Amino acid sequence: MASRHPSFSTSETPPRLRRVGNELYEVSRTYRRDMRASARVFADAEQAASLGTHDRSLAQLINVTTLPGIAAPALGMPDMHEGYGFPVGGVAATLLPDGVISPGGIGFDINCGVRLLTAPVDVAAVRPVLESLIHEISRGVPTGAGRGGRLSVAGAEMDRVLAEGVPYLVRELGQGRREDLTYIEGGGCLDRADPHQVSDRAKLRGRDQLGTLGSGNHFVEVGVVDNIFDDVAAAQLGLAMGGVTVLIHTGSRGLGHQVCTDYVRRMDDVARRYGIVLPDRQLACAPLSSPEGTAYFAAMCAAANFAFCNRQVITERARDAFRRFIDCELSLVYDVAHNTAKIERAGDHLLCVHRKGATRAFGPSSSEIPEHYRGVGQPVFIPGTMGTASYVLVGTDASAQLSLSSTCHGAGRTLSRGAAKRAVRGHELRRQLEGRGIVIRCPSNAELAEEAPLAYKDVERVVDVTERAGIAKKVARLRPLGVIKG
């Protein structure tokens, strides 16, 4: 079927994709004169054949290769789909000091990420109180656009959240345990954060949003481990058959959105001053060493710290509910960010690695991961949908060369939210899910329909491509018992 929105103009010849590895396809840098690197996509043969026919994601990935200072092929993960400037599921590294940083390569929801917790009980302990448990968590975690939470921060307190991240919440506000910090990417704090680079408007939008889900595909999910693929890795991560889990997926809310908005405008204004000509204004960027690049990076780190704190507060609300109804403590397995840029070393070079809708996937030899997981690999979480499964994986050492130590972050959309609402009736979807024993809490049937399973790719296929490509390996599968949707 022809796309309503062709990926390539009628004056362009569609690119030829060449297989260059296990589940890896490439568009050569010779495809277009302005390409500074090739574009590579992790996909199976059928997925590769359809790339560029249903959305603009492949065209966007090719555009990413034109960024000044790009130091390696631009990468598309198996869940890649169209986004703002960069495709969602896009990874790109630029060479420091003069390579660019692009807000579109991080996204509007800075450090949208996934956190996994486990309970020291099996599913039999949860079933009798599941409705009450999900209701209690939903009472403690506001959902929907613009909704505020119980914890409000402003002024100096907001600046400390932005500068110090989760360590400040734990030490000063009693939100969590010190051992949590070990199991959060970067210890829950990106140290280049500067609250002074975050606008007053952004801070105002975030003042009451810690501990809230927001809208869209964000969720809190109580689940059960229903399959183990790697006994050793599962044991190291504290996962056992029949064990109860909690997944939290949300980000920096209105604060992060405003940071991205502010700096896209600012970089669009200065691009030509730096001699940057782009095929798409949504790729607005500036050298990381420039005043604009340095300021954005500091503001992005601050927004990322806010997102870590958001998930930390939600964790405490979930812990409160489990204490009340099951009398047990939730333990943090890991918190992994997507929608960030990180400074990382590759041999003798420092790179700015953009991951939009993609997460780190460091292998067992990496010093970047908690000591407890060395020898196993960094935990990676790939959520499915309300009616399917989510997966726990671990990164591989091979990912460093294959994918800039990156992997996908979810199933990936196939339908827009509007198209999903036209295809699915929310009340019918709610009834179907509840008929399968899944407890659902969502503000409206329309918002529920936006996140219907048919709006997403097959998560099992996405995970299988990831594993066959060698960038991460499966550890366990989680099946949903109850879901609170944003």
* Spatial CB neighbours of 400, under 8 Å, sequence gap ≥ 6: 346, 362, 363
291-326 and 253-270 helices, crossing angle to 10° = 170
* Rounded Cα–Cα distance for residues 310 and 479 (Å): 24
Query: In 3-state terms, what secondary structure has residue 453?
Result: helix
* Spatial CB neighbours of 110, under 8 Å, sequence gap ≥ 6: 251, 252, 256, 259, 260, 300, 303, 304, 307, 339, 340
- Cβ neighbours of 437 (radius 10 Å): 12
Cα dihedral 476, 480, 484, 486 in deg (nearest 10): 60
Tally of CA atoms within 13 A in the half-sphere of 51 that contains its CB: 32
Asked about 5 being catalytic, the answer comes back as no
Closest CA to 36 of 78, 64, 57: 64
Query: In 3-state terms, what secondary structure has residue 14?
Result: coil
- The catalytic position among 81, 218, 338, 409 is 409
| Full DSSP string of 284-345 | --EETTSHHHHHHHHHHHHHHHHHHHHHHHHHHHHHHHHHHHH----EEEEEEEEEEEEEEE
CA 442 to chain CA mean position, Å? 21
* Rounded Cα–Cα distance for residues 445 and 429 (Å): 8
Active site residues: 409
